[in-house]
Structure 1
Amino acid sequence: MTTTTEDTTFLAQLTDLHIREPGRLAYGRIDTAPYLERAVQSVLRLAQRPDAVVITGDLSDFGRAAEYEHLARLLAPLAMPVYLMPGNHDDRDQLRRSFPGHNYLTEGMGPAGFVQYSVRVGALRLLALDTCVPGESHGALCGERLTWLEEQLEACRGEPVVIAMHHPPFQTLIGHMDEIGLLQGAEALEALVARYSNIERVICGHLHRAIDVRFGGTIASTSPAPAHQVCLDLSPDAPSAWTLEPPGFRVHAWSGRSGRLVTHLAASGTFEGPFPFHDNGTLID
């Protein structure tokens, strides 16, 4: 394991864990816990240990206390800071009760109880933006949430910023997912993002796939899930379905030398290798 280099910050992104109570299956078919265990071990095997891990929503499947208790045990091997965010499958209040040591969960809640916070991860500023609508699968950004974001962006103009949210603020062309995407506030968010050249990424969950889109002068993206992925079918009337494609996660690396954020797609699991390309400076035949 190589430690983080002095001028580079590493932020790992997991998302859409859908953890159930021990022994319970998500969608009646899949035990998501072993997949998360593999993802956690994959993060720990990275050549550069992340400065932090952010999990962009759908931590649980139903937002139940027993699910969050199971999740806490599965995440326990991660020694670096872990920042949690709710998705449409989560319950904000139960999330706070189940993770009382995560004080940032109460930072920007306001009267509506939103889970919004600003934290420093190495040289990066991570802004977590709550897109959830209680009891609904789709997301929304109201004036209160956007005002909070604008205030935070004004406060960190000199820092490289990553905005994290659950619902992606763009059309993915996967019809059944776009129907439950960010249905309110996406245009206002893009106009706001376009005003700040220091926003390096808008990172999202919800889609269980790696998707990248130009957005507000930066890049907005989603990440694969540790277990099941949404089927890649761009037909407007494609059925709502998932598949056991190879899982993965994102690694966002900020280089102080280049002044750029570089994002890598990492596979979750164990694989053969590494094998050398050369033997004593000679290409292996």
Structure 2
Amino acid sequence: MLIAQITDLHITAPGGRACGGIDTAEPVAAVIAQLNALEPRPDLVLVTGDLVDAGRMEEYEVVAELLDRIEMPVRILPGNHDNRDNLRAAFAPRGWVPADGGPFIQQVVEDLPLRIIMLDSVIPGHTDGELDDARLEWLRRRLAEAPDHPTMVAMHHPPFVSGMPGLDRYRCANGDRLAAIIEAYPNVLALVCGHLHRPVSIRWAGTLAFVAPSAARQIALRMGTDMPFAWTAEPPALALHLYRGAEGLVSLTRGVGEEFAPATARNS
């Protein structure tokens, strides 16, 4: 079974720019074309937040046209740049998010060999995330429903320290409480996130925690406490999670084309 993950698309209305001044629709379209060309084909595509840049409905109309090109089933959760009402209005009719379900956009994918629990970590108006009592209890109940079934948990904000201080201040709060829940369920094979615009992996809460790179543009790897935030010319990318039953889960990343990076001299 193969799961594809794309994240942090930051699509704008036509003519807009994001992620340091680029037309994000162009790299995202290339990622989707690469996604459709994969062999073997993914069984599911997870979109883990920040689909648009400002949460406006006209942005969701653009991203919907892009995501409609995906030739596999799609499931979506929100990020801090998303507006829940507009996201639900755009994608509930397609079956990609629940049509109702209260204040949060959360869902469980039950019909695959790997069960996927999609958890909403958004605080409206904030860059950082949070899992309050209600969301933590929802997760606990969903895990208790199938304690022996291999499971992946997906959310937008990483709940752990990545080693990049400029980004870690915007991680998900209550990570210790989330860790306590996940540690109680060894059937959780991975926690997958977005938000950081670059790949990160860590052994956390007894499982693999993984951050997928952005489908639009990556953030420069800067580990010093006083280093300013910057964008980088690394290509847009997607993540792949290959579930092999008793052999476990492998997570990989795939960049898409050097055409989105500035031309550089090559050694002859």
TM-score, with length taken from structure 2: 0.92
- In the alignment, structure 2 segments of 5+ residues that lack a partner are 260-268
What amino acid maps onto 2:109 in structure 1?
V
Task: State the alpha-carbon separation in 2 of the partners of residues 133 and 264 from structure 1.
Answer: 29
* 8 Å CA contact 2:74, 2:96 repeated in 1: no
Cα deviation digits, residues 44-101 of structure 1 (max 9, x gap): 1111110010011000000110111000111112121111111000000110111232
**Do structure 1's residue 33 and structure 2's residue 31 form an aligned pair?**
no
Aligned residue number for residue 42 of structure 1: 34
Q: State how 1:32-181 maps to structure 2 within 5 Å.
A: 32-103=24-95, 105-106=97-98, 109-110=101-102, 113-120=103-110, 122-181=112-171
* 8 Å CA contact 1:173, 1:236 repeated in 2: no
Q: How far off is 1:167 after superposition?
A: 0.4
* 8 Å CA contact 2:158, 2:194 repeated in 1: yes
Q: How far off is 1:270 after superposition?
A: 7.9
SS of 1:230 mapped into structure 2: coil
Q: Percent identity?
A: 40
Query: How many residues are treated as equivalent by the alignment?
Result: 259
Point out 4+ residue stretches in structure 1 off by more than 4 angstroms: none
**Do structure 1's residue 12 and structure 2's residue 4 form an aligned pair?**
yes
- Structure holding more strand per residue: 1
Q: How far off is 1:39 after superposition?
A: 0.3
Aligned residue number for residue 238 of structure 2: 249
SS of 1:252 mapped into structure 2: strand
Q: How far off is 1:157 after superposition?
A: 1.5
Which has the higher Rg, Structure 1 or Structure 2?
1
Cα deviation digits, residues 210-229 of structure 1 (max 9, x gap): 10011111010101112211
Q: State how 1:204-215 maps to structure 2 within 5 Å.
A: 204-215=193-204
What amino acid maps onto 1:146 in structure 2?
L
TM-score, with length taken from structure 1: 0.87
C-alpha root-mean-square deviation of aligned residues, in Å? 1.6
Task: State the alpha-carbon separation in 1 of the partners of residues 194 and 19 from structure 2.
Answer: 19
What amino acid maps onto 1:268 in structure 2?
V
Task: State the alpha-carbon separation in 2 of the partners of residues 266 and 20 from structure 1.
Answer: 24
Aligned residue number for residue 248 of structure 2: 260
* 8 Å CA contact 1:107, 1:117 repeated in 2: no
SS of 1:115 mapped into structure 2: coil
- In the alignment, structure 1 segments of 5+ residues that lack a partner are 1-8, 272-285
User: CA 1:27–1:15 in 2, change beyond 3 Å: closer, same or farther?
Assistant: closer
* 8 Å CA contact 1:12, 1:251 repeated in 2: yes
Task: State the alpha-carbon separation in 1 of the partners of residues 166 and 18 from structure 2.
Answer: 19
Q: How far off is 1:105 after superposition?
A: 2.7
* 8 Å CA contact 2:119, 2:154 repeated in 1: yes
Q: How far off is 1:151 after superposition?
A: 0.4
